[in-house]
Structures are given as C-alpha cells and as structure tokens.
A and B are shown apart, each in its own frame.
Chain A
Amino acid sequence: AQSVTQLDSQVPVFEEAPVELRCNYSSSVSVYLFWYVQYPNQGLQLLLKYLSGSTLVKGINGFEAEFNKSQTSFHLRKPSVHISDTAEYFCAVSDQSGNEKLTFGTGTRLTIIP
C-alpha cells in the first residue's frame, strides 16, 4: 500500500515569486508519481508525471518537479507564479505492480497574493 503526504495545506505566495509545494510518499514497491491541479469548481487536470527516465520532469504552465528516490519526494516548483496559478494542487502515486489506483495526498491550496 502507498501513502502520500503533502506537508503544507495552504501556501500563500506573492505574484512573480517562486514556489515549492512539497510531496513525500511511502511505498514498498516502485511507483509512478503525478501532480494534478484543481482550479476552483473544476475537475482535475494533469500537471506533470514521472513514469521513468529523467528525474526532473517538466509540465504545463511552467511547473516542474523532481523525483528523489532516496528522499521519497516529488516536490513541485515554479520559478515565478501568476494570479492564475491559484488552485488546489494534489500529489498522487500509483504502484508499478499492476494495481492501477491513484493514492492522493490531502492537497495544497496555493494562493497568489497580488
């Protein structure tokens, strides 16, 4: 079984400042890692994913994340945020053994301050 911890439930950031949203996971098997974004009153949109290969992955809207196996982390970063980045961000994992369900973290609400 896997678990995901998003350490920060809320992150306020000034516009054009950098941001990092933290995600740590626990699993006894190898995993795939994902970040999803949920804008207010909308569905979940895939931001980026790590399946294999380079540990630094780039996603949409200028976001990137780095897979760190030794620290079991998959932190999300953006060098300069915009008002439009205000949303809820979810980190999720699925195992590579064939059980395809996504296990989600509790989410981080990113609020951009003008």
Chain B
Amino acid sequence: DTAVSQTPKYLVTQMGNDKSIKCEQNLGHDTMYWYKQDSKKFLKIMFSYNNKELIINETVPNRFSPKSPDKAHLNLHINSLELGDSAVYFCASSRGGRTQYFGPGTRLTVL
C-alpha cells in the first residue's frame, strides 16, 4: 500500500502555463508538506498544512498556491510557470510534526 502518493510523476509543460500536482496520504497523519528539490539536489520546505490550516509558508512566490481539501490531501497549484520552477517537488506527511514520510516526487520540467 502506498503511504504518500503524488500525481503526476512527470510533468512537462510550456512557460506561462498553469499546472497542478496532487498529493494524498493514507497514514492518518495530520500535517502535510511540500518541498522543492532543485537541480543541485538541495531540498527546501515550501509549505506546511496542519488539519487543513496553513502553518508554514516559506517565502514562496504567490504563483504557488497550496490547497488542502481535507487532512489526507494537499495539492500544489502553480500559475504562470517559469523556467526556474523546473525541479522535483516532494510531498510529505507527519503525525505531530516529528517524523516526515515522503512521496515519490513529481519531476516538473518547464520548457
């Protein structure tokens, strides 16, 4: 059984387009996160939601908008995609904020 899943796994799109990445966890966790891994493999937190409430927003451009319809889902919508948005985006979840479990990642390529 997949614990944290993301769709799609690969996303190739043109500059200026709008796209969404979906994340679902079946672990019963109350907190979900989005991280960005750049081309040098550096990982950085973008957002965190606890019980559908935004608790971390790390200086991310407002073209990025997370949405949490319920505790098990955290989607990431990106408007007006730019070349610099090309990266691997990871979703993660935790219970009580201690140990985070990651999804398989979504590789976004902006042409």
Contacts and interface: CB of A to CB of B under 8 A. Distances in A.
Interface in A66-101: 88, 90, 92, 94, 98-101
Given A43-B105, A44-B102, A90-B43, A101 B58 contact: yes
Contacts of A103: 45
A32 B98 CA distance: 8
Contacts of A51: 98-99
Q: Majority SS of interface residues in chain A?
A: strand
Contact of B48 (A32, A46, A101): A101
A52 B98 CA distance: 11
B66 interface: no
A100 B31 contact: yes
Contact of A43 (B44, B90, B94): B90
Interface residues of B, number: 25
Interface in A21-78: 32, 34, 36, 38, 42-46, 49, 51
B82 to A, nearest CB: 23
B104 A43 contact: yes
B97 interface: yes
Interface in B73-106: 90, 92, 94, 97-105
A5 interface: no
Contacts of B98: 32, 49, 51, 94, 100
B44 A104 contact: yes
Interface string B14-46: 000000000000000001010100001111110
Contact of B94 (A98, A100, A107): A100
Given A45-B102, A100-B48, A103-B45, 6 more contacts: A44-B102, A46-B100, A49-B99, A51-B98, A101-B58, A102-B92
